[in-house]
Amino acid sequence: MKLRRVRTGNGLQTQCLRDGQWAAHSEALAGKVFSDQWQLDIADEHLRKSESLLPFNPASFRDFMLFEQHNIDASRGLVRRFHPAQYRLAAAVERLSGRSFPLFKPKPLFYQQPIYYMGNHLTFVPSGTPICAPAYSSALDYELEIGFVLAEPLYCATPQQAAAAIGAFVLLNDFSARDIQRAEMASGFGPQKSEHFASSMSATAVTADEILPRIDNLTGSVRINGNTVNTVSSAGMRWSLGEVLAHASHSEHLFPGELFGTGTLPGGSGMETGNWLEPGDVFTLTLDDIGEVEHVITS
């Protein structure tokens, strides 16, 4: 079932798509965390810049890295743009060995447990919102991800219990300032100003019963100025979503409304493909049957 939120004269209303028509839906998509007035104020702020709303306001945001190939290709792309001499050396090693340069691969912990960082859940904006690179960056990038929100609380859950607690899926886009990201990652504290300034998600969400059975077979696309520059697939996740949530819930309470991301699908960022965002660009990310985000990049 596809869901969205709209602004009515009486406040915010969750709607579901039935027989091609949007109708009122009795239940909110996520748990009640924020006050009705706060959510209404945020919705009105978003509507001043966009014609759509977030399907829910996330209570928190944990972004995982589940795709090895993305890490390899993104690391290669970062070095290619910002450290060309190092890139030429790494490229020579890859040509001679026929293998990925070792430092482009994820750290050992990636293979031992699901890894993630805590993002800024309060800077999510809906599709259609104009986006400007932060003042401290000249390398704005996008990241096409699968987002999923909890409908039930979890604590020390098994993977089966954790998967059953997923309420719905969204297309998630994590904006990134790539020129400062490497230094922040090297600090040992993970991404900070390189990631926290803005994220976006599709205006629509789709309930888990329709998406979870085919979570490894979703496809999506990246379009810039009307041209499809890449397509992506959800195949190849290192950990299942049940394992991801079970790990997050280990000796830690998780609550309805908390949002999680799979990390970028391979090929779903400009750093991997060389398709960087520039002022004036219109870019669109799509994900099978779930939704899309589209933004104009301003200067």
Tell me what the mean pLDDT of segment 153-171 comes to: 98
**15 CB contacts (<8 Å, ≥6 apart)?**
3, 4, 5, 6, 22, 23, 24, 25
pTM score, two decimals? 0.95
Report the pLDDT value the prediction gives residue 182, as an integer from 0 to 100: 83
pLDDT band at 29 (very low <50, low <70, confident <90, very high): confident
CATH number of 34-66+109-297: 3.90.850.10
Phi, psi of 138 (to 5 degrees): -130, 25
For residue 272, the surrounding DSSP H or E stretch is helix 270-273
Average pLDDT of the chain is 95
Instruction: Please report, for the chain, the start and end positions of each structural domain, with discontinuous segments joined by +.
Output: 1-30, 34-66+109-297
199 with 173: CB under 8 angstroms?
yes
178 with 142: CB under 8 angstroms?
no
| Pair of tokens at residue 201 | 């998600």
| Pair of tokens at residue 115 | 């890894």
Pairing between β-strand 166-174 and β-strand 116-118 as defined by DSSP bridges: unpaired
| 184 three-state secondary structure | helix
| Pair of tokens at residue 29 | 């998509």
DSSP 61-112: EEEE---HHHHHHHHHHHHHHH-HHHHHHHHHHHHHHSS--GGGSPPTHHHH
pLDDT band at 160 (very low <50, low <70, confident <90, very high): very high
Return the amino acid letter for 168: A
* 249-294 tens-digit pLDDT: 999 999 999 999 999 999 999 999 999 999 999 999 999 889 999 9
* 240-250 tens-digit pLDDT: 999 999 999 99
